[in-house]
Amino acid sequence: MFNIFGTKSYLGVDIGTTSIKVVEIIKTSTKPKLKTYGFLESYGHLERLNDALQTSSLKIMDQEAAKFLKILIKQLKCKSRDVVASIPAFSAFITLLEIPEMPVSEIMETMKYQVRQYIPLPTSEVTIDWLPVGKRQDEKGVNKQQVILISVPNEQIRKYQNIFKLAGLNLRALEVESLALVRALIANDPTPTAIVDIGARSTNIAIIDKGYLRHNSQTDFSGGSLTQAIASGLNINIRRAEELKKQKGIIGVGGDYELSTLTIPFLDAIITEVKRAKDNYEKNSGSKIDGSTSLTINPEQSRRIERVILTGGGANLLGIDTYFEKQIGLTTVIGDPFSQVDYSPEIKPIIKELGPPFAVSIGLGIREFV
Ligand SMILES: Nc1ncnc2c1ncn2[C@@H]1O[C@H](COP(=O)(O)OP(=O)(O)OP(=O)(O)O)[C@@H](O)[C@H]1O
Ligand SMILES: [Mg+2]
């Protein structure tokens, strides 16, 4: 945990459905510093993409994940053994609640009670956490506090504990990937924003307002769907389709035009989901939230999403930001997690490309330092 200078460092570990990414972050007197980074991809998923039964529930097996992690840590010569890791958003239940103002000590008890209404599992089988996200005066002038309730099945937590134990690492904290993304891509910016994380197997849409996560949803339309569309449309194998996608993106002209006609319907499906999340948030943000019904009481208070931040490996698709912006009608940028860390000048030429796949791991790695 401590190197010879007494400096503390952490490993940020993002176990995706198809790859593992690791960063090592060191505390400094200024910004946290990225010491090293790396990833390993499980190519098996490319072949298995054809199998329609495999959805985002497909996870790298524990043993394999531990084996990959050991290899990565060794190759990267990481000094720290202390890990902050992410839980995929699709394994967690994330709900925004409004409760009367009460002391922090009482909130946990209230949450334990509330959680029963929102999750399909017995409370003894989940671990819950909550974060304050705002305050509001209701129509009767009563002060209410808004909290985001996060529940994760214990089975999922045990799985992660097992992976890190097998890999000889100390799991210090586990957090839902959307929270790591907020830290890496938003920090304290209050602008109402949709973060769209386009992964290999699923796309995660997080709505952030005043710097807080407010809503989270997912779709199975993802980077893998685009690859699949190219493979079946051109009748080529998945690996070749993956290469073509990375090479050509959606800005193809002439002969390459055909490629974007295959992929764009899937990109449009992702955009439709983002629009839906945006509309829902805007509709409900001026409302009273009581879990079962939402009654609009003050439409003037409703907040409008102002921008989209794209992240995840799928955000490296050439031309995606321009297309997204045009279709959704909001400023769209590719997130830059490197703005939160110092890094070696040698990697400056490639940080643009590294940013999307490493956003979650960087957000995890800086957790204890910001
Ligand atoms: N240059 C590129 N152009 C287009 N797509 C790309 C590019 N680079 C990576 N991708 C896509 O990004 C996806 C992988 O993204 P990422 O590494 O964020 O996934 P993951 O975290 O392992 O998956 P998930 O989040 O679904 O568990 C793949 O579908 C891959 O094809
Ligand atoms: Mg991911």
Q: Answer whether residue 2 is part of any domain.
A: no
Instruction: Kindly report the backbone phi and psi dihedral angles of residue 220, in degrees, each rounded to the nearest multiple of 5, phi listed first.
Output: -80, -10
pLDDT in tens, 142-197: 888 999 999 999 999 999 999 999 999 999 999 999 999 999 999 999 999 999 99
Residue 4 or residue 313, greater confidence: 313
- Is the pLDDT at 51 greater than 50? The verdict is no
What's CA 165's distance to the chain center, in Å? 24
What is residue 190's predicted lDDT score, i.e. its pLDDT? 96
C-alpha of residue 197 to centroid of ligand 1, in Å: 9
- Mean pLDDT, the chain, integer: 88
Closest ligand to C-alpha of residue 198 is: 1
pLDDT band at 46 (very low <50, low <70, confident <90, very high): low
Read off the amino acid at residue 136: R
Task: Find all residues with CB under 8 Å of 269, minimum gap 6, and list them.
Answer: 219, 221, 225
Q: Answer whether residue 34 is part of any domain.
A: yes
Task: Find all residues with CB under 8 Å of 319, minimum gap 6, and list them.
Answer: 249, 250, 251
Question: 83's torsion region: left (phi>0), alpha (psi -120 to 50) or beta?
Answer: beta
pLDDT band at 111 (very low <50, low <70, confident <90, very high): confident
Binding pocket residue ranges, ligand 1, CB within 6 Å: 16-19, 199-202, 222-224, 227, 242, 245-246, 312-314, 316-317, 357
Q: Answer whether residue 4 is part of any domain.
A: no
- Per the structure, the count of domains in the chain is 1
Q: Answer whether residue 347 is part of any domain.
A: yes
CA torsion through residues 248, 254, 255, 259, sign: positive
- Is the pLDDT at 300 greater than 50? The verdict is yes
pLDDT in tens, 339-368: 999 999 999 999 999 999 999 999 999 999
What is residue 284's predicted lDDT score, i.e. its pLDDT? 83
Q: Answer whether residue 3 is part of any domain.
A: no
CATH number of the domain bearing residue 246: 3.30.420.380
Q: Answer whether residue 1 is part of any domain.
A: no
Contact 201, 181 (CB under 8 A): no
Helix (H) or strand (E) holding 189: none
Q: What is the mean pLDDT of residues 293-311?
A: 73
**Listed range (125-134, 177-186, 237-246, 310-319) with the worst mean pLDDT:** 125-134
pLDDT band at 50 (very low <50, low <70, confident <90, very high): very low
pLDDT band at 293 (very low <50, low <70, confident <90, very high): very low
Q: Answer whether residue 15 is part of any domain.
A: yes
What is residue 109's predicted lDDT score, i.e. its pLDDT? 83
Task: Find all residues with CB under 8 Å of 83, minimum gap 6, and list them.
Answer: 10, 11, 12, 13, 164, 169, 170, 171, 172
Residue 77 or residue 301, greater confidence: 77
Contact 29, 37 (CB under 8 A): no
- Is the pLDDT at 282 greater than 70? The verdict is yes
Closest ligand to C-alpha of residue 199 is: 1
Q: Is the pTM of this model over 0.85?
A: yes
Residue 90 structure tokens: 């699709």
What is residue 44's predicted lDDT score, i.e. its pLDDT? 59
What is residue 98's predicted lDDT score, i.e. its pLDDT? 87
Mutate to test the pocket of ligand 1, among 316, 350, 362 (most ligand atoms within 8 A of CB): 316
Q: In angstroms, rounded to a whole number, what is the distance separating the alpha carbons of residues 188 and 100?
A: 26
pLDDT in tens, 210-226: 999 999 999 999 999 99
Residue numbers of the domain that contains 57: 9-369
Q: Answer whether residue 348 is part of any domain.
A: yes
Tell which atom from ligand 1 comes closest to the C-alpha of 16: 27
C-alpha of residue 142 to centroid of ligand 1, in Å: 46
Pick the closest to residue 161 from 358, 8, 15 (CA basis): 15
